[in-house]
């Protein structure tokens, strides 16, 4: 197989469902393929943002195999062979390993993979592109993992954080461009801890976007996940064969789900951070969508065929049938074709508990 000359590829992860966005996000039609904010669906917006940096043939999308038709319909300009199909999710470390296995068929080992979630909200696109370019360059020269950290604007408890070190040894040429060494990763903190992070001045939001060479990824994967690594060596020997799909399902069944943050980034010692300030959110819940959306005079975000009387500080969405609501404050009301969610605002994280309960009881439209 001919090796393509391009030295940069984008890996867009679209395998998540995000139960916090139920009832709009379901197993059949998950969050990345839904519209919440912006012009298109989440994945369409993500791909359109990176097209000035990556050609369509250099963009690969990882998703559950049952969502391939959705993806092709929404992204017809992406080559069909660039859709990387998982039999079921196994978290980000496994997802990226599968991507690297497929991508290295077409590109050399020193190619930079830039990993991006498919369902984030980003503004200040010029700065975003600049950060992607810097991250790729540093990943190539420093042979490390280069994350993008966002300057926090509030003590947010729903985001992960990265702590940086203020030293320039070994990265002098990049220091003026906002590149720093990472010190620690911190998962979603409580409110007091988040305030301390902000006050310290050396903690930044973890965007979940990072760049890494293919060969550097495999070195880290072998070091920290050797059992998984051996299974991907097995998979590699079946690429292009009729046995591939069966072996892929077999190795996925053998592996524990592993997050790239927990499994590798928090343990490896050559992680860098591009400190950035473009507008960003992982859009993790209905509460976060409410925060980002334009409000009316009563501080409501309302979409669809809604009649609202004496309603304030609420998010009301009814895209499929009329909805009338009266006399409520601080509410989340989301109507879908099959189901309706009603809960208090600032309790959006509890939606996942509802979905988990319905799964256990085998009820609802999930």
Task: Kindly report, residue by residue over 267-285, the tens digit of the pLDDT.
Answer: 998 999 999 999 999 998 9
Domain extents for the chain? 8-281, 286-361
Predicted confidence (pLDDT) at residue 29 exceeds the cutoff of 60: yes
Lowest mean pLDDT among 8-12, 43-47, 290-294, 347-351: 347-351
* pLDDT of the residue at 359: 86
Can you read off the two tokens belonging to residue 250?
Answer: 């077999």
* Helix pair 42-50, 125-142: axis angle to 10 deg: 70
* pLDDT of the residue at 236: 95
Summarised one tens digit per residue, pLDDT across range 223-264 is 999 999 999 999 999 999 999 999 999 999 999 999 999 999
Can you read off the two tokens belonging to residue 39?
Answer: 């012009």
* pLDDT of the residue at 337: 87
* pLDDT of the residue at 166: 87
Predicted confidence (pLDDT) at residue 1 exceeds the cutoff of 50: no
CATH topology of domain 8-281: Spore Coat Polysaccharide Biosynthesis Protein SpsA; Chain A (3.90.550)
Cα–Cα nearest to 82, from 65, 64, 58, 101: 58
Lowest mean pLDDT among 1-10, 63-72, 201-210: 1-10
Strands (E), the chain: 8-13, 59-64, 83-86, 112-117, 121-122, 145-150, 161-165, 179-186, 203-213, 271-276, 280-281, 301-309, 315-326, 331-335, 340-344
CA distances from 131 to 101, 119, 144, 205 (A): 26, 18, 16, 14
Query: Would you say the pTM of this structure is higher than 0.85?
Result: yes
CA distance 157 to 161: 10
Predicted confidence (pLDDT) at residue 319 exceeds the cutoff of 60: yes
Summarised one tens digit per residue, pLDDT across range 182-198 is 999 988 888 899 999 99
Kindly report the average pLDDT of the chain as a whole number. 93
Mean pLDDT of 88-113: 95
Angle value at C-alpha 194, between 289 and 333, nearest 5 degrees: 25
Predicted confidence (pLDDT) at residue 5 exceeds the cutoff of 60: no
* Positive or negative: CA dihedral 121, 125, 131, 133: positive
Higher pLDDT, 189 or 213: 213
Mean pLDDT of 156-172: 90
Point out which residues pair with 205 in neighbouring strands. 150, 161
CA distance 75 to 53: 17
Residue 6: pLDDT band (50, 70, 90) is: low
Predicted confidence (pLDDT) at residue 206 exceeds the cutoff of 70: yes
Q: Are 22 and 351 in contact (CB under 8 A)?
A: yes
Q: Are 263 and 225 in contact (CB under 8 A)?
A: yes
Q: Using DSSP, state whether 46 is helix, strand or coil.
A: helix
Predicted confidence (pLDDT) at residue 4 exceeds the cutoff of 60: no
């Amino acid at each position: 197989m001919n090796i393509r000359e391009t030295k940069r590829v984008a890996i867009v992860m679209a395998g998540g469902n995000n139960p916090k966005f139920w009832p709009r996000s379901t197993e059949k039609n998950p969050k990345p393929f839904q519209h919440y904010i912006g012009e298109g669906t989440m994945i369409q917006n993500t791909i359109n943002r990176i097209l000035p940096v990556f050609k369509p043939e250099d963009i690969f999308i990882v998703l559950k195999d049952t969502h391939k038709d959705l993806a092709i319909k929404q992204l017809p300009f992406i080559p069909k062979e660039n859709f990387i199909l998982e039999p079921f999710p196994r978290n980000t470390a496994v997802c990226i390993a599968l991507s690297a296995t497929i991508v290295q068929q077409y590109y050399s080992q020193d190619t930079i993979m830039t990993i991006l979630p498919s369902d984030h909200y980003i503004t200040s696109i010029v700065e975003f592109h600049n950060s992607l370019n810097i991250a790729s360059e540093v990943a190539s020269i420093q042979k490390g993992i280069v994350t993008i950290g966002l300057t926090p604007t509030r003590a947010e408890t729903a985001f992960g954080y990265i702590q940086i070190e203020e030293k320039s040894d070994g990265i002098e040429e990049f220091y003026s461009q906002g590149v720093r060494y990472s010190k620690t990763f911190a998962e979603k903190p409580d409110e007091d801890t988040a305030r301390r992070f902000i006050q310290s001045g050396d903690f930044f939001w973890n965007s979940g976007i990072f760049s890494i060479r293919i060969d550097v990824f495999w070195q880290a994967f072998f070091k920290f996940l050797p059992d998984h690594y051996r299974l991907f060596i097995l998979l590699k020997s079946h690429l292009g064969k009729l046995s591939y799909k069966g072996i892929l399902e077999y190795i996925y069944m053998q592996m524990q789900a592993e997050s790239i943050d927990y499994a590798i980034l928090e343990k490896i010692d050559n992680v860098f951070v591009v400190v950035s300030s473009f507008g960003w959110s992982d859009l993790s819940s209905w509460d976060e969508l409410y925060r980002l959306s334009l409000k009316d005079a009563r501080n409501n975000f309302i979409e669809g065929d809604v009649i609202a009387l004496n309603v304030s500080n609420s998010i009301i969405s009814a895209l499929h049938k009329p909805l009338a609501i009266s006399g409520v404050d601080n509410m989340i009301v989301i109507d879908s074709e099959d189901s309706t969610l009603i809960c208090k605002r600032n309790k959006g994280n509890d939606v996942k508990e509802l979905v988990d309960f319905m799964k256990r009881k085998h009820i609802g439209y999930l």
